[in-house]
Amino acid sequence: MSVEELDSAGFDKISGSPAAVIDIWAPWCGPCRMVSPIVERLAARYDGRVRFGKLNSDDHGEKAGQLGIMSIPTLLFYKDGKLVDRIVGAYPEEVIDDHIKRLL
């Protein structure tokens, strides 16, 4: 499964999954463009075990504000509908993968 483009309703649906990673990004954000292919690879690796989504903070600023997003990229990690972890900034694939392993 690929990374799903989310709106507010889609965000709520995915974040309520047993395990989910949501990438908060914007098209103009250079570090976001560095993280995006990493998230795509991890989505393929964890297909069937973790749901992945992307929320464009420019298009959905109200939702980003509700989530307390101050900087992008931000990766949010949900377990059984609860936010359990977050990463702010561009990190290597191994670091993000470690956070996903802790999620599982």
29 classed as catalytic? yes
Q: Considering 14, 20, 32, 90, which one is annotated as catalytic? A: 32
DSSP calls for 56-89: ETTTTHHHHHHTT--SSSEEEEEETTEEEEEEES
32 classed as catalytic? yes
Q: Considering 6, 24, 29, 75, which one is annotated as catalytic? A: 29
Active site residues: 29, 32
